[in-house]
Amino acid sequence: MRRSDTDSRVSEALFARARAVTPGGVNSPVRAFNAVGGTPRFIRSGSGAWLTDVDGNEYVDLICSWGPMLLGHAHPEVQAAVQAAVARGTSYGTPTEPEVELAEEIVARTAAEEVRLVTSGTEATMSAIRLARGFTGRDVVVKFAGCYHGHVDALLASAGSGLATFAVPGTPGVPTSSTDLTVVLPYNDRAAVSRAFTEYGDRIACLITEAAPGNMGLVPPEPGFNAFLAETCRAHGALFISDEVMTGFRASRQGQWGLDGAVEGWTPDLFTFGKVMGGGFPAAAFGGRAEVMRHLAPEGGVYQAGTLAGNPVATTAGLATLRLATPEVYQHLEATATVIKDAAASALVEAGVAHVAQSSGTMFSIFFTDRPQVRDFADASSTDSAAYGAFFHAMLDAGVHLPPSAYEVWFVSAAHDDRAVQRVLDALPVAARSAAAAQESR
């Protein structure tokens, strides 16, 4: 696979040191560039829409920390709030005011009546499932192939053989006992959902879904799909968990629920949030109906806890971010996302590269596939990742840092101004031709 031409000597030296002390040299696998080849760029600093790496290269950032940096890097007001919080002390293991304020802000903006703060999206989904099992007294969990909910054992599962059968572990290290109460279904497939509930309805504790899947590229729920899921769960006494760790406060001011829940009248029993609500710090949450949340310790019997949960610095950053995320910010994000998505699509058309552009609110992604539409994981898996690798490195050479994987959403921020967008637009035609060349050379 093609490597980038930019000077990356300092990044390469750091990567060599990192690989000696950390598996693969990274603390989260996708960062290693395995899907695109080459050396990951070690970032020294970020400002607004821009990243500067340790070799001094500047990039327009279309990763935005995989979603959290809604306002851009080092936003002055968020920074000031965080610095003031740090000066007061960083953790007490007692209740603090910022965590109350952040919970109030989330409750005000979403349909969640109560929330519990945690430190990662993984913890949020893991805890939501435990709560659903404790509340219903049932064991079975339903999820969709291609939806990612963090690295929870029961959810690192692949569909078993045959329809609506129990899942098998999706990675070594997960015992079958962790996945043999999980059912994995194809996304956007109502018949498969109905079949699973007919088969196991009285054993299903919950169905968990990304509110608009963004971890297999952006695959929007078909109109009415989330409402259908909520209704099916209700009819069978199971809880509907909407995982909005990526979409919450990102797809729209409320998240995906705010985009189509209001139209279609669906309300989840439980939500999970993360990414944007931490403002670039480790903070996440799960929440929902008060009647369900009251089953959590210390009010109820379902145990859940965290030493750094509701950390005052993290919650201050999240609160500052959410308060600055006005309706105008979302208008800007949506307009910017549309300009970049449309320009990428036309550059690929021009270069003759088959692709599909899909979006939901301010989130979008481009699939390098010849399918007319991507509606589930099987469709997404048809992506030409070698062509994406060539495209990615051409963009990197031109100073645009895309996600180093073909299956990710491209994120923009409120700080992506005309200068940043212009750099992206200028880079696209050459990158599209690189993708075409990679396809022809096969």
Ligand X SMILES: *Cc1c(COP(=O)(O)O)cnc(C)c1O
Query: Catalytic residue positions?
Result: 148, 243, 275
Degrees to nearest 5, angle at CA 132 with 130 and 135: 105
Among positions 100-129, residues that touch ligand X (CB under 6 A) are: 120-122, 125
The answer for residues whose C-beta is within 8 angstroms of residue 412's C-beta and 6 or more apart is: 49, 62, 64, 333, 336, 337, 340, 362
Q: Which helix (H) or strand (E) holds 262?
A: helix 262-264
Specify the amino acid at residue 182.
Answer: T
Compute how many residues bind ligand X; rule: CB under 6 A: 14
Q: Considering only 196-204, 224-232, 239-247, 252-260, which stretch makes contact with ligand X by CB under 6 A?
A: 239-247
Under rule CB under 6 A, residue 215 binds ligand X: yes
The answer for residues whose C-beta is within 8 angstroms of residue 419's C-beta and 6 or more apart is: none
Residue 284 beta carbon to ligand X: minimum distance, rounded to whole angstroms: 6
Residue 123 beta carbon to ligand X: minimum distance, rounded to whole angstroms: 7
Tell which residue, 241, 269, 265, 54, has the closest CA to residue 155.
241
Residue 327 beta carbon to ligand X: minimum distance, rounded to whole angstroms: 24
R_g (Cα) of the chain, nearest Å: 21
Q: Which helix (H) or strand (E) holds 13?
A: helix 9-21
- Choosing from 25, 220, 274, 361, the residue that interacts with ligand X (CB under 6 A) is 274
Under rule CB under 6 A, residue 209 binds ligand X: no
Under rule CB under 6 A, residue 398 binds ligand X: no
Closer of 219 and 398 to ligand X (Cβ): 219
Closer of 152 and 230 to ligand X (Cβ): 152
Specify the amino acid at residue 318.
Answer: G
Task: Give the other-Cβ count within 10 Å of 90's Cβ.
Answer: 12
Among positions 31-50, residues that touch ligand X (CB under 6 A) are: none
Among positions 241-260, residues that touch ligand X (CB under 6 A) are: 243, 245-246
Under rule CB under 6 A, residue 210 binds ligand X: yes
In whole angstroms, give the CA distance from residue 413 to residue 373: 26
List the structure tokens of 272. 């999970």
What three-state secondary structure class fits 67? coil
Dihedral angle of Cα 334, 340, 388, 13, to the nearest 10 degrees: -90
Residue 392 beta carbon to ligand X: minimum distance, rounded to whole angstroms: 20
Closer of 251 and 394 to ligand X (Cβ): 251
Name the packing angle between helices 327-351 and 418-440 (round to 10°): 30
Among positions 142-171, residues that touch ligand X (CB under 6 A) are: 148-150
Half-sphere exposure of residue 440, counting CA atoms within 13 Å on the CB side?
9
List the structure tokens of 436. 């075409």
Closer of 186 and 255 to ligand X (Cβ): 255
Residue 214 beta carbon to ligand X: minimum distance, rounded to whole angstroms: 6
Closer of 277 and 431 to ligand X (Cβ): 277
Q: Give the total residue count for the chain.
A: 442
Closer of 120 and 359 to ligand X (Cβ): 120
Residue 343 beta carbon to ligand X: minimum distance, rounded to whole angstroms: 25
Residue 231 beta carbon to ligand X: minimum distance, rounded to whole angstroms: 22
Please identify which residue in the block is written with the tokens 């899907």.
35
Cis amide leading into 169 (omega within 30):
no
Among positions 278-297, residues that touch ligand X (CB under 6 A) are: 284
Closer of 243 and 384 to ligand X (Cβ): 243
List the structure tokens of 292. 């369900």
Chain residue at closest Cβ approach to ligand X: 121
Distances (CA, A) of 20 to 39, 41, 53, 102: 15, 17, 21, 40
Closer of 286 and 388 to ligand X (Cβ): 286
Please identify which residue in the block is written with the tokens 């007490």.
92
Residue 62 beta carbon to ligand X: minimum distance, rounded to whole angstroms: 16
Chain residues in the site for ligand X (CB under 6 A)? 120-122, 125, 148-150, 210, 215, 243, 245-246, 274, 284
